[in-house]
Amino acid sequence: MSTTVTDEQIRALAATAKPCSLVLLRWTPERSMDGAAAIELEHQRRMVSLRADGVIAILCPVGSDTVAGVAIMTVPAEEAAAIMADDPCVRAAMMTYEALPCHGFPGDAVPA
């Protein structure tokens, strides 16, 4: 069953959209390099810290051999890219990232 949404509801929701960024992290073959576990732990610590500081609104690690995770960041894509360029896994070439501008809606969240 699908909820019927009116044009007015779509326009009202669109008016609340806030600019943010979507960051997609991908693993590289360097994921298995010597010392990778310690570097990944520092990456995790940094991502959780950014979440605690409100820079990351939604943090989604991905259980995949290719995609490492997705984050919705509350900053513009250029700032997200600068933040991710300094990530321990990115600096170690274990991950690559793509930061894309997007919009989010206040109140959206992963269900509890």
List the domains of the chain with CATH numbers: 17-104 (3.30.70.1060)
- Predicted confidence at residue 81, as pLDDT, reads 98
Query: Euclidean distance between the first and final Cα of the chain, in Å?
Result: 22
Q: Beta partners for 60?
A: 70
What is the pTM (predicted TM-score) of this model?
0.90
Report how far residue 31's alpha carbon sits from residue 5's, in angstroms, rounded to the nearest whole number. 44
pLDDT(110) > 90: no
pLDDT(1) > 80: no
**Over the stretch 22-72, which tens digit does the pLDDT of each residue have?**
999 999 999 999 999 999 999 999 999 999 999 999 999 999 999 999 999
